[in-house]
Amino acid sequence: MDPPWPNKSVARGKKSGGGHYDVADSMWHLRQLLFDVDVAPMLAERGVVAVWITNRPSVRELVLSEEDGLFSSWGVKLVEEWIWVKVTERGEPVLPVEGIWRKPYEVLLIGRKSIAGTEGNEAQGEVRDVKRRVIFAVPDIHSRKPCLKQELQRVFALPDTHRGLEIFARYIVSGWTSWGNEVLKFNDVDCWTKVDGDENKSEEAS
């Protein structure tokens, strides 16, 4: 899930005619939208939920608050936190790590549905032993996150027959169901580069 978190720079870009994506008008409106998405009934036992967040503390609190957070309302607990560090082709951060306003990384919070019948901390939004991983990847198109389907399958031992749902999707992933207003956004031909001559090069090499 990659919610359209409120973002002032994106809003300014839209007003100036920039090609940015849609974002929520306010945190209050997005909160209402997220709690209207009834994720809990769709989760299988030990089902996995992954939510991209911004670096604002209020966003993290909305997802992980033990009293009224998303994870708590969905009956999942935080089990892993993945950090996507955006780097250049030379492996350097795209922005200063110590930057005040913008950071060269984004965070993916991953929760797992509690086992039926568990009580106490099992049902809370966050637990003590949270595994953290770091992903280094070169960003391409604005707002497109790396596809982590294979990594999720490997880390959580998901079977090939698992059923995945991507909410607020901006491209289609093979084998998953995509839901949102922009599910074909990054499947557009304009998002791909056609390389001419590859077939001829293969024939010459053979």
Mind listing the pLDDT tens digit for each residue in 1-35?
999 998 765 444 444 444 455 667 788 999 999 99
State which amino acid sits at residue 10. Answer: V
Q: Sign (positive/negative) of CA torsion 152, 56, 64, 36?
A: negative
Confidence of residue 198 (pLDDT cuts 50, 70, 90): low
- Tell me what pLDDT residue 74 has: 94
Residue 24 has a pLDDT of 73
Which of 1-5, 9-13, 142-146, 188-192 is predicted least confidently? 9-13
pLDDT tens profile 48-96:
999 999 999 999 999 999 999 999 999 999 999 999 999 999 999 999 8
Task: Give the model's pLDDT for residue 2.
Answer: 93
Identify the band that residue 123 occupies on the pLDDT scale cut at 50, 70 and 90. very low
CB atoms within 10 A of CB 79: 18
CA distances from 23 to 81, 168, 180, 181, 187 (A): 23, 11, 12, 11, 20
Measured distance CA(206)–CA(34) in Å, rounded:
54
- 3-class SS of residue 5: coil
Q: What is the CATH number of domain 21-186?
A: 3.40.50
Predicted confidence (pLDDT) per residue in 125-140, tens digit: 445 689 999 999 998 8
Classify residue 196 as left (phi > 0), alpha (psi -120 to 50) or beta.
Answer: beta
Confidence band, pLDDT 50/70/90 cuts, at residue 192 = low
- Please state the pTM of the whole predicted model: 0.79
Provide long-range contacts, Cβ within 8 A and 24+ apart, for 60-68. 60/107, 60/109, 62/27, 62/31, 62/34, 63/109, 63/125, 64/109, 64/125, 64/126, 65/125, 66/124, 66/125, 66/126
